Amino acid sequence: MKPTIYDVAREAQVSIATVSKVINDSGRISDKTKQRVIAIMEKMKYQPSVVASALTGKQTFTIGLFIPDLANPFFAEIARYVEDRAQENGFSVVMCSTDHNIEKESKYIELLRQKRVDGFILASGFINDEILKELIEEKFPVVMVAQDFPTRTMDSVSTDDFFGGYVVGKHLLELGHKSIGVLAENWKAGTLELRWSSIERLRGIRQAMAEAQVPFHEEHLVICDSSVESGRASSAKFFEGKSGPTAIFATNDVLAIGVVQAAREHKKKLPDDVSIVGFDNTLLSTIVEPRLTTVAHPMAEMARKAMELLLNRMQDKDRMSSRIILPPELIKRDSTRPL
Amino acid sequence: MKPTIYDVAREAQVSIATVSKVINDSGRISDKTKQRVIAIMEKMKYQPSVVASALTGKQTFTIGLFIPDLANPFFAEIARYVEDRAQENGFSVVMCSTDHNIEKESKYIELLRQKRVDGFILASGFINDEILKELIEEKFPVVMVAQDFPTRTMDSVSTDDFFGGYVVGKHLLELGHKSIGVLAENWKAGTLELRWSSIERLRGIRQAMAEAQVPFHEEHLVICDSSVESGRASSAKFFEGKSGPTAIFATNDVLAIGVVQAAREHKKKLPDDVSIVGFDNTLLSTIVEPRLTTVAHPMAEMARKAMELLLNRMQDKDRMSSRIILPPELIKRDSTRPL
DNA sequence: GTGAAAGCGCTAACAG
DNA sequence: CTGTTAGCGCTTTCAC
């Protein structure tokens, strides 16, 4: 059996209180007994039980990370960074893939609360506003990441999507493009309603175009589901007529890859005939041919800030919430070219 | 505050023992009080504390999943499947990215054992044989997945790499290729020592060639690090002379993508001039142009079996260990063509 | 059927 | 400085 605090107390000829004190480096104990106890603990390979200490009101040093799907490289990357930051602070992260499924979300939340995790990081679309509200009202530590959710006041850190779209516009304009198409992602498969990030990205590129006095043609906006296949099918429209756009901004890399495939099917030469830019700077963007010009999220910084916010929130549930918005960066690669 | 077992006991006018019994559906209680207690629990939104019950010797219903890196699509996919199976059985999974780093492994193991997780699933290369040995000796529930480790007897489920390589060979041979190159992955960056899976895959293709009486030229075996870049650089060798192979088997998709890039740099037409096949059937293989012929692991089944083994092991630490080897499947796409 | 009571391993006053 | 003691929320005999 694993040794308990009693075992080391007996070995060290002290009380369990003393041992507890050296474990937590609290209270006052002579350096001598402290050293002795430490030595004994090492000798016995004693590991304090997080379970027991959690029961006495301490933390479990575990957080839940909610994302839609680990198999999506964008979210996997977020998960990776969050895990690193958590680990650094002594926290474990339990993965919760929600598949954008409202019931899975609730179940996970419930389960993890039974396990007394210390907080949640939500990188999922988090559809269940009801539960979110409950969490916030109970002052349960929660931070939203990579997903702005303007309807609730809570801690969050996200990318400046508007600025990202704006920068893409600037880039394309500088390259001389005057006819620009946008392939944007809907909120939910099958609908025509854009998701928040796409709305912002679109607004950004529009702004850039407006500033340059280049008109945006509404028929050059196409909305589709978030998959390569949907992107491919939906963007065919851009290549059919002869008056198609000379540049296309897809609001994420997955869609952009669909555009690349469609362009190729329509015998377009890339990037000569048409420039394409994506968003997210996922692994995929370096794999497609041509390598995608795209917008990179400040992933590392986002994860760091998110963990920071969560830690702060955990120690002071009443602090004011902050909404942090970080600027993304345009990564120029081979899929864009001067007109 | 969250209600405790005392709160519901008081409400229901019974003892906490009784409540405990209805929670665990153990002991004997009249149906009447049982229903009453259940009703009260629901009314109060009572959730038993996993922490407290874990302290009394019950499980924590949490497992640790070790993988080298979540940002690698192959491992992300494994993680996804494992998470699903775990969730199904009421378990949470905490992610442990080890980066093939022996110290990170140890730290995570230690941390999770302090947290009294119920078991580990190891999909990481798991370098630290020392700790592995300790775990096994202590009869701590552990199963290895997607990674055969023939030096220890333990529960494991993996892909039949030999058969995978064999099938690739058959396919290429059927297509008429007689000159086949292999790009294989080393165990650790910079070395020339193959990792176990690559050894097996190589052995498989060799076997197929031997059976067909097609010689394998040793200079057609190239060993490199596991990255697109290394694959690209190392495979240049295949395209330089004029007597290069007409087909190349890369022992994983990442390498295969490197090969595709190198081929393109050398003005080879794909798949006309050279056929390429990968391994793993990651997301990437459908993104490259041409879409990669590759070998798919029975991911879903692997994860299911792994969870099954772990569950079994948890309830009987002394059962005989089983090593399960599942057959992979060749996925024919556009990167291979008859000679 | 039901409940009293003794822990599980640890923390946090509170005495000494 | 160090030890005693009362919990934390739940499980599990063992009486009644």
Give me the pLDDT at residue B18, please. 94
Residue B336 near residue B317 (C-beta atoms within 8 A): no
Host domain of residue A30: 5-48
Q: List the single protein residue with the shortest CA to C1' distance from C2.
A: B18
Tokens of B108: 């995570």
A175 in any annotated domain: yes
pLDDT bracket for residue A265 (50, 70, 90): very high
Q: Are residues A282 and A173 in the same domain?
A: yes
B55 in any annotated domain: no
B43 interfaces chain A, CB cutoff of 8 Å: no
Q: List the single protein residue with the shortest CA to C1' distance from D1.
A: A29
pLDDT value at B241 more than 90? no
Residue A253 near residue A292 (C-beta atoms within 8 A): yes
Residue B307 near residue B86 (C-beta atoms within 8 A): yes
Q: Are residues A180 and A247 in the same domain?
A: yes
Give me the pLDDT at residue A8, please. 93
User: In this structure, is the CB of residue B335 within 7 Å of any atom belonging to strand C?
Assistant: no
Residue B167 near residue B232 (C-beta atoms within 8 A): no
Give me the pLDDT at residue B330, please. 98
Q: Which has more confidence, B72 or A166?
A: A166
Q: Which of residues 66-95 of A touch B (CB under 8 A)?
A: 69-71, 73, 76-77, 79-80, 83-84, 87, 90, 92-95
Q: Work out the average pLDDT over B5-16.
A: 93
The radius of gyration of chain B's CA atoms, rounded to the nearest angstrom, is 26
CATH number of B43's domain: 1.10.260.40
What is the percent of chain B with per-residue pLDDT over 90, rounded to a whole number? Answer: 84
User: What's the mean pLDDT when you consider all of chain A?
Assistant: 93
pLDDT value at B243 more than 90? no
A57 in any annotated domain: no
Tokens of B250: 């890369």
B78 in any annotated domain: yes
Q: Are residues B125 and B195 in the same domain?
A: no
Q: Are residues A182 and A256 in the same domain?
A: yes
Provide the positions of strand D that have an atom within 7 A of a protein CB.
1-5, 7-14
CATH number of B210's domain: 3.40.50.2300
Q: Work out the average pLDDT over A282-299.
A: 95
Q: Are residues A180 and A245 in the same domain?
A: yes
A335 in any annotated domain: no
A50 interfaces chain B, CB cutoff of 8 Å: yes
Find the DSSP H helices in chain B. 5-12, 16-24, 31-44, 50-55, 73-88, 102-114, 129-137, 161-174, 196-211, 228-240, 253-265, 284-287, 299-315
Q: Are residues B165 and B312 in the same domain?
A: no
Q: Hey, are the CB atoms on B94 and A62 less than 8 Å from each other?
A: yes
Instruction: Give the count of domains, chain B.
Output: 3
Tokens of B23: 């929670």
How many angstroms separate the CA atoms of B184 and B192, rounded? Answer: 10
A53 in any annotated domain: no
Q: Are residues B88 and B137 in the same domain?
A: yes
**Pairing of β A294-296 and β A329-331:** antiparallel
**Which one, of A94, A135, A211, A73, lies nearest residue B90 by Cα?**
A94
Q: Are residues A75 and A175 in the same domain?
A: no
**Model's pTM, two decimal places?**
0.93
Q: Are residues A204 and A238 in the same domain?
A: yes
Q: Are residues A177 and A286 in the same domain?
A: yes
B113 in any annotated domain: yes
Give me the pLDDT at residue A151, please. 72
Q: Are residues A202 and A218 in the same domain?
A: yes
Closest CA of chain A from B145, distance in Å: 18
B335 in any annotated domain: no
pLDDT value at A148 more than 80? no
Q: Are residues A67 and A182 in the same domain?
A: no
